[in-house]
Amino acid sequence: MAVQRGLLLIADIAGYTRFMEFHRADLAHAQDVVARLLEAMIDASSALDLVEVEGDAAFMYRPWPGGTGPDLVESALRQAVAMHTAFHALQQKIACLNNCPCQGCVQVANLKVKFVAHLGDVAPQRVKRLTKLAGFDVIFVHRMLKNSVPVREYLLMSEPLWERADERVRTGARLLEEELEGVGRARTWYLDLAALAVPLPPRPKVTWLAQQRETLGVVLRALPYALGLRKLGGLRNLTPV
């Protein structure tokens, strides 16, 4: 397939603590929670195609021929805000209704989500029924995940993307120069999502039935993994972030 220009965006969940590596049941429940949060964000992202789920992150893409105009940046921002809202709405529901005492469930309220976005060239590659993306810019956007952004939830934009932003976005963004592994020095800009977040829906009504449905759902879905009957996928962010 021909090389394409487009928007690359990664939504990355972080917040679980290190000790969960040693507790299979906790990790199985954490994996179920993260999978549901990822699904909620993917469903909320109407303008992006899912490329791959990578542990506790979703890698997404949208072709953008020419790669020009502020609409590209606005699209990235709208998608990040929509996914951020979907993430926290479901997180709020789980935290309110889940009575499971394991740390995989108890710590759901500590989870955060961050986004990195880049405008670059990719080469779609068909592997059986899957389409994957290859190229330097795919590596670049993944390297952006390792950064020193001083806030916990943000949209981090690469320079090629930020250059196409309008004055409103430029005014709110903060410059951050990073040394990206295997890439070198890069200029990036971040927006604090706390300043852009929209109000969440009301908290769910806490009833015995709603609590049982939520708690048993997690337990039953995670049971094959907790018993070792299925292999855990493994979460990357099991250390404090």
- Dump pLDDT digits (tens) for 153-208: 999 999 999 999 999 899 999 999 999 998 899 999 999 999 999 999 999 999 99
In a domain, 22, yes or no: yes
Domain of residue 137, CATH code: 3.30.70.1230
In a domain, 153, yes or no: yes
Residue segments in the chain with a per-residue pLDDT below the cut of 70: 1, 17-23, 66-69, 232-241
Query: What pLDDT is stored for residue 57 in this prediction?
Result: 94
3-class secondary structure, 3: coil
Domain count, the chain: 1
Query: What pLDDT is stored for residue 143 in this prediction?
Result: 97
Query: What pLDDT is stored for residue 20 in this prediction?
Result: 60
Query: What pLDDT is stored for residue 130 in this prediction?
Result: 74
In a domain, 161, yes or no: yes
| Structural domain of 157 | 4-226
In a domain, 235, yes or no: no
Query: What pLDDT is stored for residue 151 in this prediction?
Result: 96
Query: What pLDDT is stored for residue 67 in this prediction?
Result: 60
